[in-house]
A and B are shown apart, each in its own frame.
Chain A
Amino acid sequence: MTRYIFSRAVQALLVLWGAFTLSFVLLQVMPGDAVLIKFQDPELGLSPQQISDIRASYGADESAFVQYAHVLGRTLAGQLGYSIETGVPVSRMLHAAYPTTLRLAVVSFGGAIMLAAAFATAALLAPLRPLRAALRLVPGLASGIPVFWLEIVAIQLVSFHWNLVPVVGVSGWAAVLLPGLALAIPISAPLTQVFLATAERVTAQPFIDVLRARGASPLRILYAHVLPNALPPTLTISGLVFGEILAGAVVTETVFGLDGLGQLAQQAVANQDVAVLQAIILISVAGFVVINFTVDALHPLIDPRIRRTQAGGAA
């Protein structure tokens, strides 16, 4: 088991390094850079000579390789650098922005799981076959709804029209309630689809018939037997949809005017604020890797058959 965790940790570091490098290359091949964007403004009245001096002071005129070595060395030393746009240390910007995004992720992920559970139960246990078939189509449709449209509609109806949840002048958990639940809808769709497909295969197995023949109720069979058997693929997907939450955070925070990592990322892209952007990419990738590692580690707890092979493999 220790060997397994060690090899997974090495893999995680490789993924982080790869993401860091790829993002650096992509930002390099984009025309221009942050210094040009900020100081080329004609209103500032800087001469080309002055601009190139400023560029030299930021190290922006160095070769790509030298810049890469410099940035990588700095990051490995734990220094995230300074925002070119504002001059504020990147670490301070992240510190201010992450709580909002974390709350948004928790609400949307938790909401997605509850939504998926409720919906899957209905789709599996609804009384009539045509009704079950119809319910089964809904997740596919839900995953096709654009997030931004859904959120604008949510603001209009839930907040402005019905006055249920305020979205202006709120902070903390209250601020992420509506955006989190709106984001939960498209996130829950793939979870529901995968769970329903697996649950259908599990339900076709003979042991389900045996349980029915013992007098177990459909609800009991679903929660005590179908659920644990159908969970592993859903768990894997739930690790992957975490990426969608991060992507969704960019749109959601912009629509709702939340100052989280998503909005920070959006501004950093607009300004080509390389240091900020790379820090956000690193944090997102690290979160993604940790979540998926946790998901993999949970599998043997659910399925005893995997437990045995892994114990054998580590011996």
Chain B
Amino acid sequence: MNTASLQLSIRDLDVVYESRGSAHHALKGVSLDVRAGEMLALVGESGSGKSTLGRAILGLLPESARIRHGSIRVGGTEIVGLPERALRRIRGARVALIPQDPAHSLDPVRTIGAQLVEAVHLHEPRGNTADTRRMLVGLLERVGIKEPERRLHQYPHELSGGMRQRVLIAAAIAQRPALIVADEPTSALDVSVQVQIMALLAELRHELGTAMLFITHDLGLASEQADRVAVLQHGTLCETGETRALFANPRTPYTRRLLADLPLFHEARAPRRADGPHEDAIVVSHLTYAYKGAGGRPGHKAVRDISFNVVAGQTHGIVGESGSGKTTLLRCLLGLITPDGGSVQILGQNPARVEGTAQRALRRAVQFVYQNPHVSFDPRSRAADILAEPLINAGLRDRTARAARVRAMLERVQLPPAVLERRAANMSGGQSQRLAIARALLCDPKILILDEVVSALDVSVQAEILTLLETLQQQLNLTYVFVSHDLAVVRRIADTVSIIHAGEQVEHGPTETVFSTPRDDYTKRLLAAIPGRDLMRPAVLA
């Protein structure tokens, strides 16, 4: 190995978080190397320590963290033990960060130009603003931003998510750093934008010879992008290797399980034909909804001419990127807004028209589970109260009867009874999503509307929740509407699928047919953008 080209070299790094006597061992003797022009993907689930490692490289560990021993060398300079002043000269100049969430990673009250000029002048204090702006125009062009002069005068909220991430990439490469730490740089972006951003990062890496540490939870993306992969589990590096070799032949059980849990590795759902007569739980025909524009004029049409039906006991997947009209469609299904055209029939009723007792009955029969349960629960309420609420609303006054139903439901969603005393804020993502499902089921629903319910979860937890949903569907004959941006997940769980693009239903049909023989260009593009599709079972994708 040519050590001269080593841009990042970590040896035996040990980091502990200490607070009020308790200590959390976040990194346990981690060693890794990244060479110039190389991308190392650091994969791991939440709590694995991958973000801690990224922060340690930037010298940005929180005050409660302590490096017990070990060394971090960036381009030959030892970072550990360096005083703050010296670290500041290295940050941004020798090692740069591409952050996770472009929406909140730019200062909202300052122009793009002002922020980029600042980024440059932090390291070139004698820089001339006019010269810097001229240089920035070229740099923005390089990262694929059109009309760069105009963008310099704009504020972050005037740019799309993909464009903001390009601006952040421009800021990161402005000083030609030896190493870039990219911390989940595309997890907040749509798949089609993700493809473009990852392609840009690959180009820049080869052009500038920058070493890149790519922190991700997405094994599919890592398999496609990285030269080498390092798998982190509970602060220990459990496997490092050349990407192709590692995915073809994982050595440790943990890596094997991570791969097995990838939705990509599951067969597409086999078509289920309802035997004999079947009934439709949901019928949507020619649904159109437009938001009212200024002065009551008809405004932006959020959804146009959408039609599908869902057989009772089956799952319909709805796939669309941000702004596609998914949310509007769901609001129509829930009867929260009245469609401008077409009709919605839920269990034979129009949700926007029913009133009184029938409305209450329908609302109980159609339950909604939200993407991020941490937001939809009162963080201070206990799980027991969260679960008792729907029963109290249904008029079940007897405490012992309530407790019995809650216990039975916990068993169904495979949560231990000890959870009941916990507060919502202290639960893991998987636990709170099980709790949300349990609360929905306590209303005895016929239909569950599941809005991105597994998007925020680690793959292993995601796999568990998907299996749970399948089991519950069989046991209780539930009908699901499953909204997701993740095609691999939809392919695993849905019987039929609608692809929505800019308010229009570009494709609709049995999942297997849509995935194996897509007709629409947009669907084809989406399928091609699935990260790690090479890993997919070959029988399914041609």
Contacts and interface: CB of A to CB of B under 8 A. Distances in A.
Interface of A: 129, 205-207, 209-217, 220, 224-225, 228-229, 302-305, 308, 312, 315
Contacts of A303: 108-109
Contact of A216 (B97, B101, B104, B122): B122
Given A212-B91, A215-B88, A215-B91, A206 B101 contact: yes
Contacts of A225: 107, 110
B109 A302 contact: yes
Given A214-B96, A215-B90, A205 B60 contact: no
Contact of A213 (B91, B108, B109): B91
Contacts of B104: 205-207
Interface of B: 58, 60, 63, 88-93, 96-97, 99-101, 104-110, 118-119, 122-123, 155, 157, 168, 171, 294
Nearest to A303: B109
23 contacts: A207-B104, A209-B99, A210-B97, A210-B105, A213-B92, A213-B97, A213-B99, A214-B97, A214-B122, A214-B171, A215-B91, A215-B122, A216-B118, A217-B88, A224-B110, A224-B118, A225-B107, A303-B109, A304-B155, A305-B108, A305-B109, A305-B157, A315-B294
Nearest to A227: B109
Q: Which 5 A-B pairs have the closest CB atoms?
A: A214-B92, A213-B97, A215-B92, A215-B91, A304-B155
Contact of B96 (A207, A213, A217, A228): A213
A88 to B, nearest CB: 51
Contacts of A224: 110, 118
A228 to B, nearest CB: 5
Nearest to B171: A214
Given A214-B171, A304-B157, A207 B91 contact: no
A209 B59 CA distance: 11
A124 B101 CA distance: 25
B99 A210 contact: yes
Per DSSP, chain A at the interface is helix
A216 B99 CA distance: 16
Given A209-B60, A224-B118, A229 B99 contact: no
A213 B122 contact: no
Given A129-B63, A212-B91, A214-B119, A228 B105 contact: no
A199 to B, nearest CB: 14
A206 B108 contact: no
Contact of A215 (B93, B100, B106, B294): B93
Contacts of B63: 129
A206 B118 contact: no
Given A207-B104, A214-B97, A229-B107, 9 more contacts: A206-B104, A207-B105, A207-B107, A212-B60, A213-B97, A215-B89, A215-B90, A228-B110, A308-B157
B155 A213 contact: no
A206 B156 CA distance: 14
Contacts of B106: 207, 210
Contacts of B93: 215
A305 B60 CA distance: 30
A151 B408 CA distance: 68
B88 to A, nearest CB: 4
A214 B105 CA distance: 12
Q: A210, A229, A308, A315: which has the most chain B beta carbons within 10 Å?
A: A210
Contacts of A305: 108-109, 155, 157
Contacts of A209: 60, 97, 99
